[in-house]
Amino acid sequence: MIAVPKMWAMLLSLPLLTIMADFVGLLGGTVTGVLSLDISPATFFNRVTNALLLKDIVTGLVKSISFAWVITTISVFRGLQFRGGAAGVGNATTSAVVTSIFAIIVLDLVWGLIFYLR
């Protein structure tokens, strides 16, 4: 029960952060295209809308939700099993980060195969 608020927070915030990062990336691409490549904003967005598929957006959101679940699950598990005071907290944190990174890499591979291997 102690993990439920953490899980909800991650499941809501990580997809929202993903959407925000996507928009910032589009803004950065627009600025770069306009200032460095002499592409008009209309041309840039026309090309983006031709290249970007709904499948890509859905994939990003599904991946962010699954990453949120994995990060929270691993972090709570490692946090609840730590022992040894402050040093134990540091070790549990390091273990949670390393395990989460590895799990995200594997999960990203799995989602890539599911969504794009055809």
* pLDDT, position 84: 83
Q: Is the pLDDT of residue 96 over 90?
A: yes
User: Is 88 or 61 the better-scoring residue by pLDDT?
Assistant: 61
* pLDDT, position 118: 73
Tokens representing residue 116 in the block: 């794009």
- Average pLDDT of every residue of the chain: 94
Reported pTM: 0.86
Summarize the confidence of residues 44-62 as an average pLDDT.
94
Distances (CA, A) of 30 to 27, 43, 49, 65, 67: 5, 10, 13, 27, 28
Q: What is the distance between the alpha carbons of residues 18 and 15, in angstroms, rounded to a whole number?
A: 5
> Could you read off the pLDDT of 22-49 as tens digits, one per residue?
999 999 999 999 999 999 999 999 999 9
Q: Is the pLDDT of residue 88 over 90?
A: no
Q: Is the pLDDT of residue 59 over 80?
A: yes
